[in-house]
Amino acid sequence: MQTSTIHPPAPRRAQPTAAATSAWTVQRIEHLLALPLPELLWQAQQVHRQHFDPTEVQLSSLLSIKTGGCPEDCGYCPQSAHYDAGVDADKLMDAEQVLEHARAARDAGASRFCMGAAWREPKDRDLDKLASIIDGVKQLGLQTCMTLGMLKPQQAQRLADAGLDYYNHNLDTSPQFYGSIISTRTYQDRLDTLQAVRDAGMRVCCGGIVGLGESRRDRAALLAQLAALDPQPESVPINSLVRVAGTPLEHAPEVDPFEFVRSVAAARICMPRAWVRLSAGRKELGDGVQALCFLAGANSIFYGDTLLVTGNADVEADRQLFERLGLHAGPLGTHP
Ligand code: SAM
Ligand code: DTB
Ligand code: SF4
């Protein structure tokens, strides 16, 4: 299997520590977020260039392998059974069908295949099938990532033993604002899952969402939590809220796109070695704002015409954007 040249094998030590004990305090990150934009981007670019080729962008493709009917009440999510966003509930997809999607993603140039399930947590009886999916996707030469909800330590170990490279589990927002978005699982539940993922030896993909109605201080507090994870996440998805009709956040106030750029830059500065991924909402951000995000240190995208259930930026539009900006896909796979 090909391996990333940037990250050494995932460390087994894992202590999600309180943000208060990290060098990246909320106050310090708030200060970063308030810098004049040219100053913030300059700092982010310097950090980015110490660890990465600034013209290289990692491509991850997403597939919903179990859609809809989720018992959780995340206020942004079209897959929650608590809201009617017109998403039908489906069963876990057959392995063969998953592999067809993975093959197409690989052929289009993706290096990582991320599979999402609208579960509170996986059931033990699903783990054999998930393991065979992981094995099949890896045999295609792709890195694997799954996001299946909360994990118990033995479930995390089973996925790690099956060869899962990354587990995505987001903190989503600050500890203070979290309770106004989600009531069915706690912040600590999320930290416990991240700990289980680390203890099992997998790489951590953990980020959040901009645009939930949070303040700049909440964005700083989210980044402080992420930066305080020890070790820091290898992959940090920054989502811009996709406001889906039928969800409680359908009418969330629009955020100034430069605030999104600032969050990306601050993520880059306080997590220098992470793949900072432009995730949901790229289409709505448009080419100019995305270009600023790449200048702010973003170096990964979700690539492919759909996210989980909503639309993503078109593959053809991404090809053209990369061409216009002089970016290329890497470190695995080739530019489409
Ligand atoms: N059910 C699993 C879980 O939540 O743990 C995995 C899938 S869930 C869809 C993964 C992440 O997608 C969420 O934590 C959230 O950050 C992001 N997300 C979901 N809906 C979104 C939306 N409408 N806009 C932006 N990000 C969204
Ligand atoms: C992440 O941080 N964003 C992705 C992935 N991890 C699983 C999901 C975005 C979902 C956007 C709305 C949807 O299509 O369901
Ligand atoms: Fe369920 Fe995940 Fe959506 Fe929350 S974000 S409702 S856990 S699918």
Which ligand number lies closest to the CA of residue 194? 1
Measured in whole angstroms, the distance separating CA 228 from the mean position of its chain's CA atoms is 17
- Is-catalytic flag, 293? no
Q: Which residues line ligand 1 (CB under 6 A)?
A: 70, 76-77, 116, 118-119, 147, 149, 169-170, 172, 209, 239, 241-242, 244, 280, 308
Q: Which residues line ligand 3 (CB under 6 A)?
A: 70, 72, 74, 77, 79-80, 118, 149
The span from the first CA to the last CA of the chain, in angstroms, equals: 21
Which ligand number lies closest to the CA of residue 249? 1
Q: Which tokens sit at 19?
A: 């943000």
CA of 308 to the centre of ligand 1 (A): 9
Q: Which among 144, 291, 122 is positioned nearest to 205, based on CA atoms? A: 144
CA of 218 to the centre of ligand 1 (A): 18
What is the per-residue pLDDT for 331? 80
Ranges of residues in the chain with a pLDDT under 70 are 1-21, 332-336
Residue pair 158/128 in contact by the 8 Å Cβ criterion: no
Determine how many CB atoms are found less than 10 A away from the CB of residue 115: 26
Active-site residue identified among 70, 206, 270, 293: 70
pTM of the full predicted structure?
Answer: 0.93
Report d(CA 327, CA 335) in Å as an integer: 9
What is the per-residue pLDDT for 1? 33
Element (H, E) at 230: none
Residue pair 329/58 in contact by the 8 Å Cβ criterion: yes
Dihedral (CA of 123, 127, 129, 133) sign: positive
What is the per-residue pLDDT for 20? 54
- Is-catalytic flag, 270? no
User: For tokens 């989980």, what's the residue?
Assistant: 308
What is the per-residue pLDDT for 14? 43
Residue closest via CA to ligand 1's atom 23 equals 242
Q: What is the largest CA-CA distance in the chain?
A: 52
Atom of ligand 3 nearest to the CA of 77: 3
Task: For residue 10, give Cα distances in angstroms to 151, 188, 205, 217, 232.
Answer: 18, 23, 12, 31, 11
